Structure 1
């Protein structure tokens, strides 16, 4: 604190010649004292604000949950049921096949029949079902060529008329068609450990990507170093330009194989993708506002939610990231640490 000016330490004469002392109020209101008092008040307010924010973060449900999940493994009753084969430790390539419908059939010979699928009206005809099967077959063939690859079929329980998930139906069709490769390791019986699994919670393309990474980690115990997506060609830009950038996955380790339905239907599909897919994600990067959030809700008729907060706690902040005005707008990219950056 600055010293009191000398002129005010001395008694001063009033107009009538009497001496008097400055009051405490007068002293504090002098310029030097006002400066010091202001600094004290600002410093105190800053410390209190910092303490309050830290207290709020660590005591709030999101902050507390993140801290608990990050530092505590899943309960023993869950871990006791999990036994990963050693051969899974060599798997580092995620091949993701996003689901678009549900195969309800049992006869693989009828796999291209629309009546064997639960489809949206716009998906009927035009060879869409054939494209679905080509996605499955192409993903399986890639996995056969790369013994370090795991196929993840991704898609939730999106149709109120079926209790199956999109992913489970794709996996069932792939198994019925004998497409799925198995782990090649000594001591393993043929097909005992398939190099394919399902991700049963994604409700849109962004979640297809992010949740498949989390499911890969849940299944293998590690995060992938390479990602290949097998889907529609007309959705390439949505995945490679928007979703990949949203999770800050390195471009050089991200690959996309596009297969479209044949015929004139592709023109309608391309325009529909531009208006209802690509453009909405350019203004709502994480799909958590307005129209895109409404789509997620409509695709979750059975009120399902994922387990990845506990199995992949490193991703919990990214799962919850929904930027608004306070973060810089709905396109603000998540800037926190991500486990795949350590793989470089």
Structure 2
């Protein structure tokens, strides 16, 4: 099955039937300030202890701007900010809405006319694998088809995790998967690299994040017990959502 062929002939039922490519910005925090005068300051965001480093908030804004910039250069791209209501003390606010609202406050970095109308949110992901998988499903909900190309925006040190481990887990073609990584906070680089090595090793053993520590972490990032709507909206990949195993999902996929 072609990844670009319309799944449903009634494409007029979809808000964005002409968009072909997915640009996904992975969320890392929730914006908690009541104003948007200091979006690059740490006290405007809810930060876990390991995130509390000077310059950390500015890296979130960089991700948002990078996603807008990439989407602005591709008129066929749907921009999705991905991330759920992951922090109890931050209240029922999602990472995705935080990023979208920051982009709005920044006037879409001068590219509002071309990008804002095709920038939306995926508000249920609880980890990086779900950022990717859920955004693919959200793309299907909005366009009626699956992305021809995928670009992920996150930290540069997470490229191996996204571009190899997660991409391989959903068996998306390497030739149509792109990664745009930006630097983390210089003051937290060593700790970030060490933490990333640990998480990467966990995903190597548990590529779908459905067992052990990765599964427990996801449960901890769902403090308000949100019902996840997927795979409603992307029934062709329901099996992928249900799968749990150390080897790649063996079933048929729209892009394979």
Q: State the TM-score, normalized to the length of structure 2.
A: 0.90
- Judge conservation of contact 1:98–1:155 (CA < 8 Å) in 2: yes
Choose from 293, 304, 309 the match for 2:226: 304
Render the CA deviation track for 1:67-100: whole Å, top value 9, x for unaligned. xxxxxx9xxxxx9xx9545xx2221110000111
Render the CA deviation track for 1:285-337: whole Å, top value 9, x for unaligned. 111001000001110111113222221111111001012xxxxxxx2110101
Structure 1: which 5+ residue stretches go unaligned?
1-72, 74-78, 185-190, 324-330
User: For residue 336 of structure 1, what is the aligned residue in structure 2?
Assistant: 251
The answer as to 2:130 corresponding to 1:207 is yes
1:154 shift after superposition: 0.6
Render the CA deviation track for 1:207-258: whole Å, top value 9, x for unaligned. 0000000001111222110000110011110011100000000000000011
Change (3 A) 1:89 1:83: closer
Q: Could you tell me how far apart the structure 1 residues matched to 2:212 and 2:185 are?
A: 33
Moved over 3 A (4+): 82-85, 180-184
- Judge conservation of contact 1:93–1:224 (CA < 8 Å) in 2: yes
Q: Could you tell me how far apart the structure 2 residues matched to 1:117 and 1:156 are?
A: 15
User: For residue 171 of structure 1, what is the aligned residue in structure 2?
Assistant: 100
Report the secondary structure of 1:268's partner residue. Answer: helix
User: For residue 59 of structure 1, what is the aligned residue in structure 2?
Assistant: none
Q: Could you tell me how far apart the structure 1 residues matched to 2:23 and 2:35 are?
A: 26
Report the secondary structure of 2:17's partner residue. Answer: helix
- Judge conservation of contact 2:25–2:154 (CA < 8 Å) in 1: yes
Q: Could you tell me how far apart the structure 2 residues matched to 1:311 and 1:303 are?
A: 20
Choose from 75, 83, 87 the match for 1:155: 83
Q: Could you tell me how far apart the structure 1 residues matched to 2:71 and 2:219 are?
A: 33
Report the secondary structure of 1:129's partner residue. Answer: helix
The answer as to 2:54 corresponding to 1:126 is yes
Q: Could you tell me how far apart the structure 1 residues matched to 2:20 and 2:66 are?
A: 19
Choose from 236, 242, 245 the match for 1:314: 236
Report the secondary structure of 2:178's partner residue. Answer: strand
User: For residue 4 of structure 2, what is the aligned residue in structure 1?
Assistant: none
Q: Could you tell me how far apart the structure 2 residues matched to 1:314 and 1:238 are?
A: 25
1:264 shift after superposition: 3.6
Q: Could you tell me how far apart the structure 2 residues matched to 1:302 and 1:146 are?
A: 36
Q: Could you tell me how far apart the structure 2 residues matched to 1:95 and 1:83 are?
A: 22
Q: Could you tell me how far apart the structure 2 residues matched to 1:106 and 1:136 are?
A: 19
User: For residue 198 of structure 1, what is the aligned residue in structure 2?
Assistant: 121
1:125 shift after superposition: 1.7
Q: State the TM-score, normalized to the length of structure 1.
A: 0.68
Q: Could you tell me how far apart the structure 2 residues matched to 1:300 and 1:263 are?
A: 30
1:103 shift after superposition: 0.7
Q: How do 1:186-265 and structure 2 match up within 5 A?
A: 194-265=117-188
User: For residue 32 of structure 2, what is the aligned residue in structure 1?
Assistant: 104
User: For residue 289 of structure 1, what is the aligned residue in structure 2?
Assistant: 211
User: For residue 22 of structure 1, what is the aligned residue in structure 2?
Assistant: none
1:105 shift after superposition: 2.3
- Judge conservation of contact 1:167–1:200 (CA < 8 Å) in 2: yes
Q: Could you tell me how far apart the structure 2 residues matched to 1:268 and 1:217 are?
A: 37
Larger Rg: 1
Render the CA deviation track for 1:98-121: whole Å, top value 9, x for unaligned. 111101224332001111111101
Q: Could you tell me how far apart the structure 2 residues matched to 1:266 and 1:220 are?
A: 38
**Between Structure 1 and Structure 2, which shows a larger proportion of helix residues?**
1
1:183 shift after superposition: 7.5
- Judge conservation of contact 1:182–1:195 (CA < 8 Å) in 2: no
